Amino acid sequence: MPRLAPSARIDLHVHSTHSDGTQTPADVVGRARRAGLDVVALTDHDAVSGWQEADRAGQEQGVAVVPGLEMSCSAAGASVHLLGYFVDPDHADLRAELDRVRDSRDGRLRRMVERLASAGFSVSWEEVQAEAAAGASLGRPHIADVLVRRGRYPDRDAAFADVLHSSSPFHVAHYAPHPRRAVELVRAAGGAAVLAHPFASARGHAVPPEVLEDLVGAGLAGIEVEHRDHGPGDRERAAGLAARHGLLPTGSSDYHGAGKPNRLGEHTTPPRVLETLLEMTGGQLLGDSP
Residue 42: phi and psi, rounded to 5, are -90, 115
DSSP string, 19-46: TT-SS-HHHHHHHHHHTT-SEEEEEEET
Residues interacting with ligand AMP, by CB under 6 A? 20, 45, 72, 139-141, 156-157, 160, 203, 256, 259-260
Nearest partner of 26 among 65, 69, 77, judged by Cα: 65
Min. distance of Cβ 80 from Fe ion in angstroms? Answer: 9
Is residue 252 within 8 Å of residue 227, measured between CB atoms?
yes
Residues interacting with Zn ion, by CB under 5 A? 70, 254
CA distance 209 to 193: 17
Q: Fill in the DSSP letter of residue 283.
A: -
The residue (of 227 and 260) whose beta carbon lies closer to ligand AMP is 260
Q: How far is CA 51 from CA 24, 66, 88, 110, in A?
A: 11, 9, 12, 27
Q: Does 81 help bind Fe ion (rule: CB under 5 A)? A: yes
Min. distance of Cβ 133 from Zn ion in angstroms? Answer: 16
The site partner of 187 among ligand AMP, Fe ion, Zn ion, none (C-beta below 5 to 8 Å per kind) is none
Q: Which residue is nearest to Zn ion (CB)?
A: 254
Min. distance of Cβ 19 from ligand AMP in angstroms? Answer: 7
The site partner of 156 among Zn ion, Fe ion, ligand AMP, none (C-beta below 5 to 8 Å per kind) is ligand AMP
Min. distance of Cβ 245 from Zn ion in angstroms? Answer: 22
Q: Where does this chain bind Fe ion (CB under 5 A)?
A: 20, 81, 196
